[in-house]
Structure 1
């Protein structure tokens, strides 16, 4: 039932996208500049995705490093003798 209710909205969205594609095709006829712009935009989108992936990886590495340091600190506290304040 939900699929039937969503169908008109999906059709409208598809029609909108189709109209956009047709407009781009119309503008692109004989327009190397537009094609270059579109290619650069796609490359930028790929770069953003790659940077986002690297950011996630860096966060994982930082978290792992922090946990390792905390474990080392706890091990040091557990094994080193307590020094008295002099």
Structure 2
């Protein structure tokens, strides 16, 4: 669980450090248009970081479900997952 929390916080930092300053700078400029390349880069970054966050939250929800609903099987499931993750 802590593994996912650390990665979730990293993705949140990446999302806010890229999207927010760019969005604010685009609002403060007199010219209200941005180039097509910058627009596509911003859309890609928003979708990439957003979907990564959704994926991590989904895995965390499944981990929480396994912990609560199958407490005796949790140790076996996590050991198998841990051994598979190294291959």
Bin of the TM-score, shorter chain as denominator length: 0.3 to 0.5
Asked which structure has the greater CA Rg, the reply is 1
Instruction: Give the TM-score taking structure 2 as reference length.
Output: 0.42
Instruction: Give the TM-score taking structure 1 as reference length.
Output: 0.43
Greater relative contact order: 1 or 2 (C-alpha under 8 angstroms, separation 6 or more)? 2
